[in-house]
Amino acid sequence: MEQVFTFKHMEQVFTFKHMEQVFTFKHMEQASNLVCATARCRDDVAKTW
């Protein structure tokens, strides 16, 4: 029973870590998209002027 519990616990921790990584990756992706959008916006403004 104890081994099964430990395995389940490890599985949950792993899943949590994985979700955390995915979330962090998504966040980084959004941040880079924001930076790209900002840079593009700046380029457009530069072209306009």
Residues above pLDDT 90, as percent of the chain? 0
State the Cα–Cα distance between residues 27 and 35, nearest whole angstrom: 12
Burial tier of 11 (Cβ tally within 10 Å: 0-12, 13-18, 19+): exposed
DSSP state of 1: -
Two tokens at 15? 């899943």
State the Cα–Cα distance between residues 8 and 28, nearest whole angstrom: 30
Tell me: pLDDT of 17 over 80: yes
Tell me: pLDDT of 33 over 80: yes
pTM above 0.85, yes or no: no
